[in-house]
Amino acid sequence: GFNCGIVGLPNVGKSTLFNALTRSGIDAENFPFCTIEPNTGIVPMPDPRLDKLAEIVKPEKVVPTTMEFVDIAGLVEGASKGEGLGNQFLANIRETDAIAHVVRCFDDDNVIHVANQVDPTADIETINLELALADLDAVERSIQRLTRVVKGGDKEAIATKAILDRIQPHLAEGQPLRSFGLDEDEQRQLRSFGFLTLKPTMYIANVNEDGFENNPHLDTVRRIAASENAVVVPVCNKLEAEIAELEDEERAMFLDEMGMEEPGLDRVIRAGYGLLGLQTYFTAGVKEVRAWTVKVGATAPQAAGVIHTDFEKGFIRAEVVSYDDFVALGGENGAKEAGKWRLEGKAYVVQDGDVMHFRFNV
Ligand code: GDP
């Protein structure tokens, strides 16, 4: 699966967000293959399409796809030098696929701020600086190592070192690599380094209930994010924690009263999904209607491999119908009669919402 690490300064609302995310979650029992650490939560992807499919197919079971969130212990200034839980913190981030950076955008005299004032610019800089310094450390070590290797004339080593030499000053200024403007080729060459500031990142602007509009803190986060091509998700974590506590019926009423179409958490989860370049396809059998996650651009055999590696190895063909056709034509039979039920081969690139059935050799 894919995961997203929640980071941010102390007291910005990370745990509140994490608890809301996991409380709205499904039992770990349903996912026996995932080991769950206390700071890790498996969260179902909200997807109304799944309910629509279930209405048509009437299966015994409906299973959403999921995304993992990891609450990463508070970062303090100096983490890159090993202060606080610094090293542990950085090691935990290195293992995540994407980063959700929570930034405090709410004023509340009862909640102490580590730097004594709500200041998103300074907060973002503090975190970005620690992450950039951790990357800088890795870059400088590698440059040292490669300096010896390039003397042997290794072309790849020379190319890699040339990129590292270029990015070094950017990191030394405390700037994240995502704002350096590396092209795809360069990013591929750096992939094995697992640089923290190159991970897909979104800012979770934690606002008060009434802080979605006319909030200068939120405007600041938006401005900074735009300069780095990062996404911003404004959400009131405290409110979300309250919503997550409610039973389904109460929740629907509460959202209605608040004039909200869905919990803000759903936007957070979907943004994480988008950040990672993920999409959903469905299997729709009478036993189970289920959503599955694949990378955008995945081929049919790769999609089959998400269910089971044998499905990928023995892949013959996929039967495919788009979600829209499946629903409009009332399901499998209708889609077949209308000629919308396609047979696709190995090269087929899966589209978001495809309803798929795989044929394979065992
Ligand atoms: P963490 O240290 O980043 O994990 O922060 P917590 O989630 O523990 O939150 C710190 C404090 O801020 C708690 O008392 C929360 O109730 C409070 N808090 C979190 N989100 C909000 C919010 O949106 N508005 C207000 N007023 N308080 C919040």
Q: 19 CB less than 6 Å from ligand 1?
A: no
Position with higher pLDDT, 350 vs 19: 350
Mean pLDDT in the chain?
89
Other C-beta atoms lying within 10 Å of the C-beta of residue 339: 9
Q: Stretch 155-183: mean pLDDT, rounded?
A: 93
Other C-beta atoms lying within 10 Å of the C-beta of residue 48: 9
Give the residue numbers of the binding site for ATP.
Answer: 11-16
Position with higher pLDDT, 220 vs 245: 220
- Please state the domain extents for the chain: 3-47+63-116+200-275, 126-197, 297-360
Output the CATH code of domain 297-360. 3.10.20.30
Q: What is the band of 22 on the pLDDT scale with cuts at 50, 70, 90? A: confident
Q: 10 CB less than 6 Å from ligand 1?
A: yes
Residue 45 C-alpha to ligand 1 middle, in angstroms?
24
Rg over alpha carbons for the chain, rounded to the nearest Å, is 23
- On the question of pLDDT at 28 being above 60, the answer is no
Q: Stretch 118-128: mean pLDDT, rounded?
A: 92
Q: Cα separations (Å) of 206 from 87, 103, 265, 281, 360? A: 26, 6, 12, 31, 47
pLDDT tens per residue across span 221-270 = 999 999 888 899 999 999 999 998 898 899 999 999 988 888 999 999 99
Residue 66 C-alpha to ligand 1 middle, in angstroms?
25
pLDDT at 213: 94
Q: Whose CA is nearest to atom 1 of ligand 1?
A: 11
pLDDT at 84: 56
Beta bridge partners of 66: 44
Query: pTM for this structure?
Result: 0.88
Q: 208 CB less than 6 Å from ligand 1?
A: yes
DSSP string, 100-134: EEEEE----TTS--TTSS--HHHHHHHHHHHHHHH
Position with higher pLDDT, 30 vs 247: 247
Q: Cα separations (Å) of 32 from 24, 36, 42, 60, 303? A: 19, 10, 12, 19, 21
pLDDT at 217: 96
Contact indicator for 291, 50 with CB cutoff of 8 Å: yes
Q: 201 CB less than 6 Å from ligand 1?
A: no
Across the beta sheet with 66-71, the strand order is: 40-44, 66-71, 3-7, 98-104, 201-206, 231-235
Q: 16 CB less than 6 Å from ligand 1?
A: yes
Q: Using the atom order of ligand 1, give the atom closest to the CA of residue 106.
A: 24
Look up residue 323 and give its two tokens. 């979600």
Residues 77 and 170: their CA atoms lie apart, in Å, by 19
Q: Three-state SS across 78-91?
A: CHHHCCCCHHHHHH
pLDDT at 29: 47
- On the question of pLDDT at 33 being above 60, the answer is no
Look up residue 214 and give its two tokens. 């006319």
Lowest-confidence region among 23-27, 83-87, 302-306 = 23-27
Q: 234 CB less than 6 Å from ligand 1?
A: no
Torsion angle, alpha carbons of 280, 313, 311, 337, to 10: 80
CA triple 257-258-263, angle to 5 deg: 115
Candidate from 75, 111, 127 with most ligand 1 atoms within 8 A of CB, to mutate: 111
Q: What is the band of 2 on the pLDDT scale with cuts at 50, 70, 90? A: confident
CA triple 288-307-47, angle to 5 deg: 55
pLDDT at 31: 44
- On the question of pLDDT at 103 being above 80, the answer is yes
Q: 264 CB less than 6 Å from ligand 1?
A: no
Residues 54 and 50: their CA atoms lie apart, in Å, by 6
- On the question of pLDDT at 37 being above 70, the answer is no
Backbone angles phi, psi at 345, to 5 degrees: -100, -165
CA triple 145-147-148, angle to 5 deg: 75
**DSSP letter at 270?**
H
pLDDT tens per residue across span 64-93 = 999 999 988 656 666 666 665 557 778 888
pLDDT at 117: 82
Residue 6 C-alpha to ligand 1 middle, in angstroms?
14
Candidate from 14, 16, 104, 109 with most ligand 1 atoms within 8 A of CB, to mutate: 16
Backbone angles phi, psi at 40, to 5 degrees: -120, 130
Look up residue 324 and give its two tokens. 């829209």
pLDDT at 151: 85
The architecture (CATH level 2) of 126-197 comes to Orthogonal Bundle (1.10)
Residues 103 and 290: their CA atoms lie apart, in Å, by 34
- On the question of pLDDT at 295 being above 90, the answer is yes
User: How do 288-295 and 278-284 pair as beta strands?
Assistant: antiparallel
- On the question of pLDDT at 179 being above 60, the answer is yes
Residues 184 and 337: their CA atoms lie apart, in Å, by 44
pLDDT at 76: 62
User: How do 315-321 and 342-344 pair as beta strands?
Assistant: antiparallel
Fold of 3-47+63-116+200-275: Rossmann fold (3.40.50)
Q: Cα separations (Å) of 35 from 29, 38, 68, 93? A: 10, 10, 11, 18
pLDDT tens per residue across span 307-340 = 999 999 999 999 999 999 999 999 999 999 999 9
